[in-house]
Amino acid sequence: MARFTVNATRSDPYRGFRFRLKWDGRYVAGISKVSALKRTTEVVEYRDGGDLSGKRLLPGASHFEPITLERGFVHDGEFEQWANSVSSSSAAGGAAPLKKFRKDVTLEITDEAGQVVLAYTIFGCWPSQYIAVPDLNAETLVMAFESIVLENDGWQRDQSVPKSTGPAGKRHKRSGPG
């Protein structure tokens, strides 16, 4: 089985259910699902003037997909307050400055020991959709979730997070360029 170069004792990937979300300097309660961080770059076709046999491709503008956050109902009103700040701004004719409702959000992925192994900063987020109460059905055993969809200006991996941790939560030295 292939081993990871940084932590030779680890032979499996990190689990997807160990994560935390933070904005305004504090962790947001009860987040149970975060959609993928997805970037798509347009493809621009062109032809060389003397080459009629085919086309060539160049990268165009990049687009960052909206991110959906879900959580079970909790008494923390963060989602609703943030969504209300955007809707009250647009109801007032967009008079409120963008900085009042745009936030940078941090997504942290942790290992089994609770150590952060991967972190991304998501820039300029603002809620474009908020679901306060989902479809309710008394005949199902589904938990009620609230959700928020965040538009964003892009994201970047936090390079200051060490590359790997061991099973006991001890940081390992990097071995080689990996």
Q: What is the pLDDT of residues 57-113, one digit of tens each?
A: 999 999 999 999 998 887 788 889 999 988 876 655 555 556 678 999 999 998 888
Q: Looking at residue 69, what is its pLDDT?
A: 94
Q: Where are the beta strands (DSSP E) in 12-167?
A: 19-23, 26-27, 31-34, 39-46, 56-64, 67-72, 103-110, 116-131, 145-151, 155-157
Between these two residues, 112 and 118, which has the higher pLDDT value? 118
Measure the CA–CA gap between 150 and 128, rounded to whole angstroms.
6
The residues that bridge with 103 in the sheet, in sequence order, are 125
Where exactly are the structural domains of the chain? Answer: 25-47+55-103+126-153
Q: Mean pLDDT throughout 42-60?
A: 87
Percent of the chain with pLDDT over 70: 75
Measure the CA–CA gap between 99 and 138, rounded to whole angstroms.
41
Region of residue 124 (phi > 0: left; psi between -120 and 50: alpha; otherwise: beta): left
Q: For 135-149, write each residue's pLDDT tens digit.
A: 888 887 777 789 999
What pTM was estimated for this model as a whole?
0.74
Residue 13 has pLDDT above 70, yes or no: no
CB 80 within 8 A of CB 130: yes
Measure the CA–CA gap between 171 and 165, rounded to whole angstroms.
5
Phi and psi at residue 80, to the nearest 5°: -65, -40
Q: What is the DSSP letter of 37?
A: -
Structure tokens given for 105: 């959000």
Among 3-7, 18-22, 108-112, 115-119, the range scoring the smallest mean pLDDT is 3-7
